[in-house]
Chains A and B, each alone.
Chain A
Amino acid sequence: MSSSKAKAQTAIEVLFIAGLVLIGAAMILPGYMDSNTDTVVLMHVKNAADNACSYLGTGVEVEDPAYSPLNALIEKVNYSSISCRVSRVFVASSTKDSMSLNVTVVYSGPLEVSKVKNAISGFIENWLESKGFSRVNGALSYGGKTVSITVKAVRG
């Protein structure tokens, strides 16, 4: 009889510890998920920008609607290589339901800055859409956050 009483006592202790663990988890989880979303979005955007640059570097067209903004640039320079690199990708601001990222791309060649900028941001958006980002009222959205991307092209 006394042994069963002792058992019930341990169970309450375990419940208490479990409660503490649960509260800890509840405190950590939202922040963790939020920063995880930010990291995944940043990785996708950086990948997309890198791909855009290496695609321009090859000077070969792939007839795929996702690549059509970049194909226009390649045709303009007669299929020659456009040397291009991603100099910076960073999260400019991030709140609970929106985030904005800045991408800086350095390229060389005769192309106009505005054309390169529009082509790369068009490609990044196409790319993200094919990677599980959804369009909500024309804006890209991932994990419940509205994602806006600002591309800056620099001729260097």
Chain B
Amino acid sequence: MRRAQITFDFLIAIMLITVTVAGIVSIASGEVANARTFDSVAKLKVLAVDLRDTVAQVYAAGDGFTVRKELPFELKSGESVTITLNSTTNRVEITATLGGKTLKVAQKLQVPLYTTSSITLGPGEREFNVTAQNVGGETHVLLQG
């Protein structure tokens, strides 16, 4: 047999390996897309829990106290994050459009809310204020840009 010649059984072996590898690659590529979604999901969850604690802290500090918060990620064009302090459900609710997907998360607040306030952040906006205001003896926690 000449050198530099691929044997027939070797070709068949290569074919079997290719079949296996093709299956693995198809699964791996799906997993990469999935990991990206989970990355933003996890960041949003952290933001929601952080905000819940911040609202409690601001409420406890009382009138005039403000905490400046920053989104844990940069928004690209077409992406937005809406944060709502909902007094009806007494929850902090976050709706985000990230990478063409709409994500929603909510966290129950441990302190009472008397007014609903909301803020929408777009590309280039990362910071917002969580402020306590005394209105008629009640401490209102508000979101401000």
Which residues in A have some Cβ–Cβ distance to B below 8 Å? 18, 21-22, 24-25, 28-29, 32-33, 36, 39-40, 43-44, 47, 51, 54-55, 58-64, 78-80, 131-132
**Cβ-defined contact, A36 with B19, below 8 A:** yes
**A interface: dominant SS:** helix
Task: Kindly specify which of B31-39, B79-87, B119-127, B132-140 makes contact with the partner chain.
Answer: B31-39
In order of increasing CB-CB distance, the 7 nearest A-B pairs are A63-B102, A61-B104, A79-B106, A40-B23, A60-B105, A60-B41, A25-B12
**Cβ-defined contact, A54 with B12, below 8 A:** no
Which residues does chain A contribute within 8 Å of B108, judged by CB atoms? 78, 80
In the complex, what residue of chain A is closest to B104 when comparing beta carbons? A61
What's the nearest-Cβ distance from chain B to residue A116, in Å?
A: 20
**Cβ-defined contact, B27 with A59, below 8 A:** no
B17-60 contact mask (Cβ, 8 Å, vs A): 1 or 0: 00110010011001100100110011011001000000000000
Q: How far is the CA of A22 from the CA of B106 in the complex (A)?
A: 62
**Cβ-defined contact, A44 with B38, below 8 A:** no
Q: How far is the CA of A55 from the CA of B91 in the complex (A)?
A: 21
**B interface: dominant SS:** helix
Interface positions of B from 94 to 133, Cβ below 8 Å from A: 101-108
**Cβ-defined contact, B8 with A60, below 8 A:** no
**Cβ-defined contact, A43 with B103, below 8 A:** no
List 25 A-B pairs, Cβ < 8 Å: A18-B8, A21-B8, A33-B19, A36-B20, A39-B23, A44-B27, A47-B31, A55-B41, A58-B38, A58-B41, A59-B105, A60-B41, A60-B48, A61-B103, A61-B104, A61-B105, A62-B37, A63-B102, A63-B103, A64-B101, A78-B106, A78-B108, A79-B91, A131-B26, A131-B30
In the complex, what residue of chain B is closest to A26 when comparing beta carbons? B12
Which residues does chain A contribute within 8 Å of B27, judged by CB atoms? 40, 43-44, 47, 131
Q: Of the candidates B19, B34, B91, B104, which one forms a contact with A60 in the assembled complex, judged by CB atoms under 8 Å apart?
A: B104
Which residues does chain B contribute within 8 Å of A61, judged by CB atoms? 103-105
B16 at the A interface (CB under 8 A): yes
**Cβ-defined contact, B23 with A58, below 8 A:** no
What's the nearest-Cβ distance from chain B to residue A39, in Å?
A: 7
**Cβ-defined contact, A60 with B45, below 8 A:** yes
Interface positions of B from 59 to 94, Cβ below 8 Å from A: 91
Which residues does chain B contribute within 8 Å of A32, judged by CB atoms? 16, 19
Q: Of the candidates A24, A47, A60, which one forms a contact with B103 in the assembled complex, judged by CB atoms under 8 Å apart?
A: A60
